[in-house]
Amino acid sequence: MGIFWSMRPKPGSMDSIQTIDVTSSLPFDLEIFGADAEQLTSSATTSNEINWNKEDQFLNCLTSCTILRSFMGQDVSRIPIRHGQVRGTLFLPRTFPSEDKILDQFSCPLVLTMYGGIIRGHVIEERAAVLASKGFASMAVAFFGVDDLPRRYKDIRVEYFEEAIEAAVLAGQGQIDRERVGIVGTSKGGDVALSCVAFLREKIKAAVIINAAIYSVATTTHYKNQSVASLPVEMSDESSIIIRDDQTLDMSGLLQPDKYPDSLIPFADAPADLLFLAGCDDHNFDSVQFAQKAAVLMEQAGKTNFEVVPLDGMGHMCNLPYSPSVFSTLHPLAPPGVRLFMGGQDTPIQHIRGQQAAWKKMIQFLSDSLAL
């Protein structure tokens, strides 16, 4: 799989290979070129680095093929959701993959998925589509930047996600078990997921928190008459920003949660099963420190149904297994055109292995906690 995860973007292209149409397979065109040994040797640089381009005249195309990467199984339905204020996409499996049982007779658990970003004005659907192919009903939930939602992060109302659950159950037409609801959140989506765990205690049975803070970052979070204060991202604090050689910004030191204790999300004594996945080379958040603090808080609250998994060398951008790595990207909170360093660049193989390990751990955790 190395030919896929080791791919790097051309200058000016997208940061990652992600699709806004998960119903279509993503094509990878592969070509193998050859030349005689003398020509190949003479083209190497003095430092023994080899940098060939398929336009080089001495290279001949020996063979080619196209490999398709699919995100959505044939027995999965994609259902756009516009219900009240809720925007998202529901993926509904029609059969259990392992048993080939029709879901008209057997209901399945629901998993909400959320990211801290979007893709070209669309909610990111890849994770939800693949989860549905594993037998979960899954809904990619947008909370900013899509359709008529706020363009950037805005104060979070947990009732929105409560409504999203009801919208998914309604669209599932009896195939979704409302008693088995989980949630997966990455980055800002992770602290939103934790807020759902904290306030929707009778509805959320399991949550996976990936490379996220345990504070309400950049937004005040509300549920009915309760609020969690915002943990500000202090962009004006230039002393906490590192400008790297490639002109990307390392902003991992911007958050100062000790100054804002009221921004801590009250999740520690919530009944849901919790899995924290934290990249040890995350340069967007200190995810490991946040996850470790979460463990201390949960232990103090007497909670035992949780697990914290640090992933050596993995950066912030934890995408699907074997996806090309993303080491820097634009960010909703950064000025337009400014790229933020996400980590994982100095440990690319560990980063990829971390993505694989995170996916396997997440699937097993959700299967166990939601009784798939």
CB 124 within 8 A of CB 24: no
- For 166, the token pair is 């009801």
DSSP result, 206-223: EEEEES--SB-BTS-EEE
Point out the catalytic residue in the list 138, 187, 325, 369: 187
Point out the catalytic residue in the list 222, 316, 331, 351: 316
Please tell me the distance from the alpha carbon of residue 352 to that of residue 8, in angstroms, as a whole number: 13
Residue 227 designated active-site: no
Give 213's contacts (C-beta < 8 A, 6+ positions apart).
190, 191, 231, 255, 257, 285, 287, 290
CB 149 within 8 A of CB 129: no
Point out the catalytic residue in the list 191, 250, 273, 282: 282
Give 19's contacts (C-beta < 8 A, 6+ positions apart).
26, 71, 126
**CA nearest to 42, candidates 60, 59, 62, 61:** 59
Position 178: which residue type? Answer: R
Please tell me the distance from the alpha carbon of residue 334 to that of residue 214, in angstroms, as a whole number: 21
Residue 316 designated active-site: yes
- For 80, the token pair is 């756009």
Residue 282 designated active-site: yes
Active site residues: 187, 282, 316
